[in-house]
């Protein structure tokens, strides 16, 4: 079964609509929203060679934080569940605790507690919570213009892009996939690729400042092709990739090792960037966020009427969703 089929089973059983499929979940509490997210890191699939337990635990937290960042919400509290073999030493547990503390200090949340269990391999489940204002997601889109809003939502959803919007991201792509290949094969990767793999960062400060002005947003951790296809489908539009979002050195690295650069850039994942759409002239609305957080934005493309995602290179080629799938 595919991941979508599995998710569909649970959504139908619990009466959840399409709005339930977002980077975070939200529940109204008075005039505010309780925003939550849960994510699990499994050593066998999510931890690259050479990553220490401390960095693995930090990565588990960053995966959750990145989804909060895409919605512009700061996480305030976390619950953590640790599953580990009985042979796991106190030193390893101490290192994982330190990694979670590193993330808490860097991103400003507090670990309230959690759970422990015994299992065949280490897994770290992090559930985060925060508070937000506004409606999530908004439901006032005109029927003839999917994704259109007269004003941006306080917490943007994956859908919301309109023809004429520009598509941008908080960073270039391909370094994480190139770095993973490098550490797995014992070769040197492009500059910055090792850090991208071992010490991923969430763009929380930028997201918290800019998200209210963005027409749609999504975290890119499952791969840029997955992100763009999901945003296009949820918005009822086509996305045309008319810029090269590859990080410096990725194309050269791919050529040297016989790799397809598009696989690294569009399908590799693990970037933890915010991919977003912005109305014409909207750059003025987020200028202070760009200036104060020193995030150099990466242009990706534009939104048009239609459906699907296309690479514009001497014509148009369909870019299908070939990002990370758990099943």
194 phi, psi to nearest 5 deg: -65, -45
* Confidence (pLDDT) at 97: 98
* Confidence (pLDDT) at 134: 66
Coil/strand/helix, residue 234: helix
Domain with CATH 3.90.650.10 in the chain: 166-318
Do the Cβ atoms of 176 and 126 come closer than 8 Å?
no
pLDDT, average across residues 146-157 = 56
**Confidence (pTM):** 0.91
* Residue 243 pLDDT greater than 80, yes or no: yes
pLDDT, average across residues 259-271 = 96
Tell me the torsion sign for CA atoms 4, 22, 135, 278. negative
* Confidence (pLDDT) at 88: 97
Distance CA 187, CA 202 (A): 26
Chain mean pLDDT for the chain: 91
* Residue 21 pLDDT greater than 70, yes or no: no
Burial class (CB in 10 A: 0-12, 13-18, 19+), 144: exposed
Among 226, 138, 186, 153, residue whose Cα is nearest residue 218: 226
Classify domain 166-318 at the CATH class level.
alpha beta
**Which strands form 25-29's sheet, in the order they lie side by side?**
25-29, 32-42, 123-132, 75-84, 110-118
Work out the pLDDT band at 8, boundaries 50, 70, 90: confident
Work out the pLDDT band at 17, boundaries 50, 70, 90: low
Query: How many other C-beta atoms can be found within 10 angstroms of the C-beta atom of residue 20?
Result: 13
* Residue 44 pLDDT greater than 60, yes or no: yes
pLDDT, average across residues 46-55 = 96
Work out the pLDDT band at 147, boundaries 50, 70, 90: very low
* Confidence (pLDDT) at 10: 87
For the segment 94-105, what is each residue's pLDDT rounded down to a tens digit?
Answer: 999 999 999 999
Region 3-132: CATH code: 3.30.1330.10
* Residue 72 pLDDT greater than 80, yes or no: yes
Mean pLDDT lowest among 130-144, 235-249, 296-310: 130-144
* Confidence (pLDDT) at 154: 66
* Confidence (pLDDT) at 132: 87
H runs (alpha helix) in 86-173: 90-107
Domain with CATH 3.30.1330.10 in the chain: 3-132
Coil/strand/helix, residue 201: coil
Token duo for residue 324: 């990370």
Of residues 31 and 313, the one with the higher pLDDT is 313
What string of DSSP letters covers 225-280? HHHHHHHHHHHT-EEEE-S--BPTTHHHHHHHTT--HHIIIII-----PEEEEE-T
pLDDT, average across residues 170-191 = 97
Which H helix or E strand runs over 153?
A: none
* Residue 1 pLDDT greater than 60, yes or no: yes
Question: Tokens 């270039």 label which residue?
Answer: 172
């Amino acid at each position: 079964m595919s991941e979508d089929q599995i998710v569909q089973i649970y959504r139908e059983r619990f009466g959840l609509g399409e709005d339930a499929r977002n980077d975070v979940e939200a529940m109204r509490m008075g005039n505010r929203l309780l925003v939550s997210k849960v994510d699990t890191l499994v050593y066998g699939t999510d931890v690259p060679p050479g990553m220490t337990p401390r960095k693995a635990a930090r990565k588990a937290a960053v995966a959750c934080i990145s989804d909060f960042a895409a919605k512009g919400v700061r996480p305030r509290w976390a619950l953590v569940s640790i599953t580990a073999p009985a042979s796991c030493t106190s030193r390893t547990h101490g290192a994982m605790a330190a990694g979670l503390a590193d993330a808490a200090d860097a991103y400003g949340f507090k670990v309230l507690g959690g759970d422990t269990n015994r299992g065949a391999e280490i897994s770290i489940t992090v559930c985060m919570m925060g508070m937000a204002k506004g409606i999530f997601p908004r439901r006032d889109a005109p029927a003839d213009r999917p994704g259109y809003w007269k004003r941006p939502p306080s917490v943007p959803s994956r859908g919301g892009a309109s023809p004429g919007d520009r598509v941008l991201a908080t960073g270039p792509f391909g370094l994480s996939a190139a770095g993973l290949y490098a550490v797995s094969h014992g070769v040197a990767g492009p500059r910055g690729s090792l850090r991208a793999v071992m010490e991923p960062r969430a763009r929380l400060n930028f997201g918290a400042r800019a998200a209210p002005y963005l027409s749609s947003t999504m975290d890119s951790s499952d791969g840029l092709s997955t992100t763009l296809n999901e945003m296009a489908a949820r918005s009822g539009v086509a996305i045309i990739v008319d810029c090269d979002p590859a990080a410096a050195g990725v194309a050269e690295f791919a050529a040297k090792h016989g790799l397809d650069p598009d696989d690294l850039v569009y399908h590799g994942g693990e970037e933890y960037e915010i991919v977003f759409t912005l109305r014409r002239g909207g750059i003025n609305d987020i200028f202070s966020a760009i200036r104060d957080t020193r995030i150099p934005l990466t242009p990706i493309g534009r939104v048009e009427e239609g459906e699907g995602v296309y690479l514009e290179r001497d014509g148009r080629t369909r870019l299908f969703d070939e990002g990370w799938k758990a099943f």
